[in-house]
């Protein structure tokens, strides 16, 4: 799948969108990405009606080249995030982009399944995104778990010992 990053966006943020989106895509089951042609990273939405939109999905009909794509509007997603965040807490921009990307992939899945209608579309995409966000966070913080697991095990053992009832004398 292609990931196109707008030149203005590249210059504005000290963040490798291509690489980070590839990391995020690793959390999405491949069957959910089937048929998706490209991900386009732009500054703000070109649709004047929803210029503050974080992103949108263009199905075959809506897309100019008749191929399904997802557009991410990163100036809306990241707003005025200070530049140091991209260096010190790169998890934060990656998380915000992941949330929007998962939501739009949810819409792509609906499009491919043809089974989700009207009002339920947004709820379904939100649920889809929520599940993948959990997976994303587990992967991002695996290192933390690896560091902390001896502490967790010792704490559990200690708690179990405390729970052993004292025999009545
Ligand atoms: Zn939506």
The pLDDT of residue 166 is above 70: no
Q: CATH for 2-163?
A: 3.40.390
Sign of the alpha-carbon torsion through 66, 133, 123, 42: negative
101-135 pLDDT, tens digit per residue, is 999 999 999 988 877 777 889 999 999 999 999 99
Q: Which residues pair with 89 in a beta bridge?
A: none
**What percent of the chain is predicted at pLDDT more than 70?**
96
**Per-residue DSSP letters for 14-30?**
SS-HHHHHHHHHTTS-H
Query: Domain map of the chain by residue range?
Result: 2-163
**Average pLDDT estimate for 36-61:** 88
Ligand 1 centroid to 104 CA: how many Å? Answer: 6
E strand intervals along the chain: 2-5, 38-42, 55-58, 69-73
Is the whole model's pTM more than 0.85, yes or no? no
Q: Please name the residues in contact with 15: beta carbons below 8 A apart, sequence gap of 6 or more.
A: 86, 90, 93
Ligand 1 centroid to 134 CA: how many Å? Answer: 19
Ligand 1 centroid to 80 CA: how many Å? Answer: 23
Ligand 1 centroid to 59 CA: how many Å? Answer: 13
Ligand 1 centroid to 107 CA: how many Å? Answer: 7
């Amino acid at each position: 799948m292609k990931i196109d990053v707008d030149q203005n966006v590249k210059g504005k943020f000290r963040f490798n969108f291509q690489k980070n989106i590839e990391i995020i895509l690793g959390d999405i089951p491949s069957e959910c990405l089937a048929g998706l042609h490209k991900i386009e990273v732009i500054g703000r939405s070109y649709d004047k009606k929803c210029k503050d939109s974080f992103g949108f999905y263009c199905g075959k009909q809506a897309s100019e080249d008749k191929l399904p794509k997802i557009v991410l509007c990163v100036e809306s997603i990241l707003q005025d995030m200070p530049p140091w965040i991209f260096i010190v807490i790169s998890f934060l921009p990656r998380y915000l982009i992941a949330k929007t990307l998962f939501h739009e992939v949810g819409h792509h899945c609906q499009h491919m399944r043809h089974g989700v209608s009207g009002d339920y579309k947004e709820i379904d995409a939100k649920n889809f995104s929520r599940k993948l966000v959990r997976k994303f966070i587990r992967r991002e913080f695996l290192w933390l778990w690896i560091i902390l697991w001896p502490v967790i095990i010792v704490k559990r053992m200690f708690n179990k010992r405390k729970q052993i009832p004292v025999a009545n004398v």
